[in-house]
Amino acid sequence: MKAADLARFIDHTLLKPNATKAEVEQLCQEAVQYGFKGVCVNPSMIGYAAELLAGQGDVLPIAVVGFPLGASQSSTKAFEAKEAVLAGAKEIDMVINIGALKVKDYEAVFQDLLAVIDEVRPVPVKVILETCYLTRDEKVIAAALAKVAGAAFVKTSTGFAEKGASEEDVALLKAVAGEGLEVKAAGGIRTYEDAVKMLKAGATRLGSSQSVSIVTRKEK
């Protein structure tokens, strides 16, 4: 696959806490220029990103919710997601309740997912699992819960934890997801080679802050 062809799979991402409007403007300009699938920003910037992208093609404004810990109350996550959609978000990337999952409180995890998914339906929701904190069984259960709750994607990582996406995790999540749920790989995807590995493992969306260097890689 040519490097430029990867753009349609990538959410061009800027989630650092000190991101400025000027940087979001650059992010959106790059997304339009290179044809990225979306731009992923913090909720306070989603209205600005949506405004910049209006009439500029098909680039999706995407907001994170409950980010990066997933430890907010479900009602808070749902409100944050609704406000993001009202501000122009076309997709939501939410963090799962990791602590509840770790103690096997699957009802709490499921209700947390439903709170957000139902609040913004039919806007697609990606569920961030933060796989580096989970056992294999926990990854499987989390993906299954996300699928039953009506998520559009399961996503590996926030990019804020010790580790990001791995080929093994992407393949595992794809095996659980089947046809009804897609997989987004994020966290540590910095090169063309990283991106291709994740797609081959089963991801259909990638999140990266290094998107431009990935798609402008010189062909060998």
Active site residues: 93, 155, 184
Cβ–Cβ < 8 Å for 110, 85: no
Say what angle helices 167-177 and 136-149 make with each other, to 10 degrees: 40
CA 42, distance to chain mean position in Å, is 12
- Joined together, the tokens standing for residue 97 give 């309740």
CA 128, distance to chain mean position in Å, is 7
Q: Position 51: which residue type?
A: E
Residue 113 CA to residue 117 CA, distance in Å, equals: 6
